[in-house]
Chains A and B, each alone.
Chain A
Amino acid sequence: MIVKSLTVTNKLGVHARPAGMIVDITAPAQSDVSIIFEGSKANAKSILNVMMLAIPMGSEVKFEVDGADEEEVVQKLEQLFHDNFNEEPC
């Protein structure tokens, strides 16, 4: 299992569209993916769960990825966060 901490650096935080982009990566993956924010852990393959965390700009979130393609998933998530979800940064 890989545990990866990432920081949300786009201006609007993880709203509907970024949540969708996260799920675009996690849903097709073989690995189980959890997202942890402020002590709440949720299934990162569920857009509703990810949106419900209401993660604001500047937060640190943790991903737990466990499975055959865990490295690829982590790498894609890392890229997505670094790209600020293709939005302008804060």
Chain B
Amino acid sequence: MTISTKNPASETDSGAEAARLTPRTVLVGVPASPGFALGKVFPIINREVSVVEETIPESRVAAEEQLFLKAVSKTANEIAKIKEISESRTGLQDSLIFSTHLMILKDPGLVNGILDQIKKEHKNACWAVHVVLGGYIERFEKIDSPAMRDKATDLRDLYNRLISAMENSGPVVEELAVGEGVVLVAHEFVPSFLMSLKPGQVSALAMDTGGRTSHVAILARSLQIPAVSGLRNIAALVKPDDTILVDGSGGMVIVNPNDDDVRKFHERQEVFERQRRELFTMRRLEPMTRDGKYITLHANIELPSEAEKVTDFGATGIGLYRSEFLFFRKDVPSQEEQEYAYRQILETMDSCPVTIRTLDAGGDKLVSGISVVNEANPFMGWRSIRVCLDREDVFCTQLRAMLLANTKGNLRILLPMISGLNELRRAKAFINKCRDQLVSEGHEIGKVKVGIMIEVPAAVMLVDLLAKEVDFFSIGTNDLIQFTLAVDRTNELITEMFQPHHPAVLSMIYQTVMAAHRQGIPVAVCGEMSSDPLSVLLLVGLGVDELSMTPWSVMATKKIIRSINFEDVRETALTVLQMDDAESVNAFLTKKYAQTISDLGISSLLGNVGEKQN
């Protein structure tokens, strides 16, 4: 028995067929990666794989077993190599895809299933892989979850690689010579294929399968290649000489477009490119309102390596480095490990300020070796600064590491969950103690600023007193909203009640700003509110001095700030403070500013904002 797996596109790939062009066809799919491209179709024909079923004699069993195991290690090597390239090109997050691939290759169900086919059923290795892995692919395709169904593509990638390895022929991609700037069209793309493309070779991707969450879509966005997925039958429809127009922002392609299509396409492409260029040129412009109020824009980071990219996005500092990400591992990191990580950030940013928040463990972020697991109310439990004040060893190790890493004098230490003066004074005493110790050990210690998170309503009630004893405030909007409104944001029954624009929340922010400014210290907002366009207007109007957000939101936020008048948003903020409820505030803001914001032409970047992790 012979099974052929091939791409539908290959059936239309004969010379005679190619001469006749496909009539103009509009296909609507899923916008997988934004951007526009117009180019010649280059169909990717998945290499035809023939799998023959054989029943083998006992004498060949060992050889077939070896053939399979060698194919596994060859495939694992290939993937490890692609993983390495992927890490250097798109960063660690996207290369996690390939860690999953490597783990699947070690899956006991898969490997033993295939070995059983060979040893017990006396089947040849190729057939064993076809039956067992093919069975998994079929089952994944039937799963009632789009994200999991997308995994079938990854399995097919492995299938092709294993079979190719056993036939001792190279992977598909090595056989391809791709021209400059063509549009690749395929039934589906496999992630490893995408990673092997060289920059500039390809102007866009169009595929039959896949959704927004597929690995291919994620990779295409990282590589900034426009892509439309879920086009159902594009691969079967197009021929090699067809022209294709790809609108990755809208999720549409037109095969052999007419003049009118091309004219409209160019208009949209121009707008898109202009928006992107404009935002990019804005990187170096000041984030200043039209009437001259300067708003500091900083970036939030989770990994020390992200610090390098921050200034490219136009941020002038780091507003929040969540140090607990260093602690999400088997044991508490040593002072040296922490110092290395902090130094990487502080030295990369040079003279720009870097705010490092001390360990904020607990609540929903449990840290091995420190947190306790069973608390009835973890968000109001033994967490954050409370843990640090009780665990002097952990806290002082972290403080010493921070102080030692601060060779440039740009460190700002941020203390989370402060609810009163006693906690603040105890924490500051620890900082002073560590500094004195280090000085007496002969270290030179740079300038340090110490600030607190305003996220517990009690801190707002005491805000005038707190302002006298710190260098800055940073408002953590998520917890402040949660505690002010008494709404557990992990409880689905009351998600509607988690309202950032609730007048009570806005009033908390306003009181904090007023108290800070009376003492001449700045107020930052580092929560999710600082990347929502309407919230940005409101926060600026309330008098917030600094906004810190995910790096890619900085440029769009800068554009918003440069388009507004401080006096106007100030009046708006004071007006909405008097309103009855969040609905009225939102209705007012939308009526007054929605048009202005949509006119800014930052839609492509707002898409990113909407995707932020919650």
Contacts and interface: CB of A to CB of B under 8 A. Distances in A.
29 contacts: A9-B364, A11-B614, A12-B147, A13-B145, A15-B147, A16-B97, A19-B100, A20-B99, A27-B106, A27-B108, A43-B108, A43-B109, A45-B108, A47-B103, A48-B107, A48-B109, A48-B110, A48-B136, A51-B151, A52-B140, A52-B143, A52-B148, A54-B143, A79-B373, A82-B366, A83-B365, A83-B366, A86-B328, A88-B613
Contact of A54 (B107, B110, B148, B364): B148
Nearest to B111: A46
Contacts of A88: 613-614
Interface in B358-402: 364-366, 368, 373
A89 B148 contact: no
Contacts of A43: 108-109
Q: What's the dominant secondary structure at chain B's contact region?
A: helix
A43 to B, nearest CB: 6
B191 to A, nearest CB: 12
A67 to B, nearest CB: 15
Interface of B: 96-97, 99-100, 103-104, 106-110, 136, 139-140, 143-145, 147-148, 151, 154, 328, 364-366, 368, 373, 490, 492, 613-614
Contact-size category for A: 20 to 34
Given A9-B490, A79-B368, A46 B147 contact: no
B216 to A, nearest CB: 14
A16 B97 CA distance: 8
A34 to B, nearest CB: 12
A46 B107 contact: yes
A76 B391 CA distance: 22
Contacts of B151: 16, 51
Interface string A71-90: 00000001100111011111
Given A47-B107, A79-B366, A83-B328, A90 B492 contact: yes
A35 interface: no
A88 to B, nearest CB: 5
Contacts of A19: 100
Contacts of A17: 96, 100
B20 to A, nearest CB: 43
A89 B490 contact: yes
Nearest to B97: A16
A10 to B, nearest CB: 9
Nearest to A84: B364
Given A51-B148, A79-B366, A46 B373 contact: no
A45 to B, nearest CB: 6
Given A51-B148, A52-B143, A46 B108 contact: yes
Interface string A26-64: 010000000000000001011111011010101000000
A80 B106 CA distance: 21
Contacts of A20: 99-100, 103
B63 to A, nearest CB: 27
A8 interface: no
A56 to B, nearest CB: 7
A15 to B, nearest CB: 5
